[in-house]
Amino acid sequence: AADRFIEVIPEIDMPGHATAAVKAYPEFSGGGSKQYPNFTFNPGKEGTYTFLTDILKEITALFPSKYIHIGGDEVHFGNEQWNRLPEIGELMKTEGLDDLVAVEHYFLNRMSDSIRTLGKTVMGWDEVVTAGLPVSNTVVMWWRQERPEQLEKAISKGYEIIMCPRLPLYLDFVQHPSHQYGRKWSKGEYAPIEKVYHFPGTDYTSGISVATPLIKGIQGNIWTERIHTPQRLQFMVYPRLSALAEAAWTQDHSKNYENFNLRMDKMLEIYKKYGIVFFNYKDPESSPEVAGPEKRK
């Protein structure tokens, strides 16, 4: 990867999104909810911290990147059982933690300390801003476009930031209103190529100035719940990846979508030449949607 100028940054999401790990090691489970069972690690067990620190040590040996991503997102989806675990009650009493959010923040700070001890820099989703992780050793990924105040808070506190909001930079969101596989936002919003090109603009930053050296760049994310084949993966990525690249290296005042649109004619030909499956946004009927495992509800 390094020979191709690619940096692989490992992520071990914690304390939520831990279902696979705690199914394999149930002794570290903090339970979950009806919809998300076995969703969390147990912050009340000292063994949880030892277990995860051992994993981080292995990760450090395997990946030369200076960063380890700690996750830290959506813990509330599956932490309702924490209230019923006596060891978490004891932790709250011992550490003076008022509620489950404070428990979550305690956990994140302990694990980020482990990462720093290993000589690595912490990355985390924008929830870590409220957890109060050290500014000097934490990079925040702002992913919730409906929570611009998290971006503003991260800037005001001095965190380095990567912008990757769901809209328009999650490429598992559909790119055309006719598409039935993949995600749309609550009001039917989706992520067409034009909106990717114009990011950050003001649509998704609520007028917050991002002209600061704290913004290190932007990132496109793709999640594969509805992507089970290489063909569908390519269909969701291309041609929006070209727009993402231009958005990343072009200042807003220099953007010209009409010019980009003309140049994309050549890019679409390159996709064809190399057998890349792509959505032809200029002629949607010529590139039918590649099906996923389930239709959007």
DSSP letter assigned to residue 221: B
- Alpha helices per DSSP H over 34-99: 46-62, 86-95
Q: Per-domain residue ranges for the chain?
A: 2-227
Burial of 98 (0-12, 13-18, 19+ CB in 10 A): exposed
Query: What is the structure's pLDDT at 296?
Result: 52
Burial of 255 (0-12, 13-18, 19+ CB in 10 A): middle
Residue 160 has pLDDT above 80, yes or no: yes
Query: What is the structure's pLDDT at 166?
Result: 94
Average pLDDT over residues 183-187: 88
> Which CATH code for domain 2-227?
3.20.20.80
**pLDDT band at 210, cuts 50/70/90?**
confident
291 or 93, higher pLDDT:
93
* Rounded Cα–Cα distance for residues 250 and 256 (Å): 10
Residue type, position 288, single letter: P
Q: Token pair of 72, please?
A: 């830290």
Average pLDDT over residues 150-160: 97
Query: What is the structure's pLDDT at 295?
Result: 58
How confident is the model over 19-63, as pLDDT tens digits? 999 999 999 999 998 888 899 999 999 999 999 999 999 999 999
Mean of per-residue pLDDT scores for the chain:
94
Q: Token pair of 149, please?
A: 């105040």
155, 146, 133, 162 alpha-carbon torsion, rounded to 10°: -60
How confident is the model over 243-280, as pLDDT tens digits? 999 999 998 889 999 999 999 999 999 999 999 999 99
**pLDDT band at 294, cuts 50/70/90?**
low
Residue 113 has pLDDT above 80, yes or no: yes
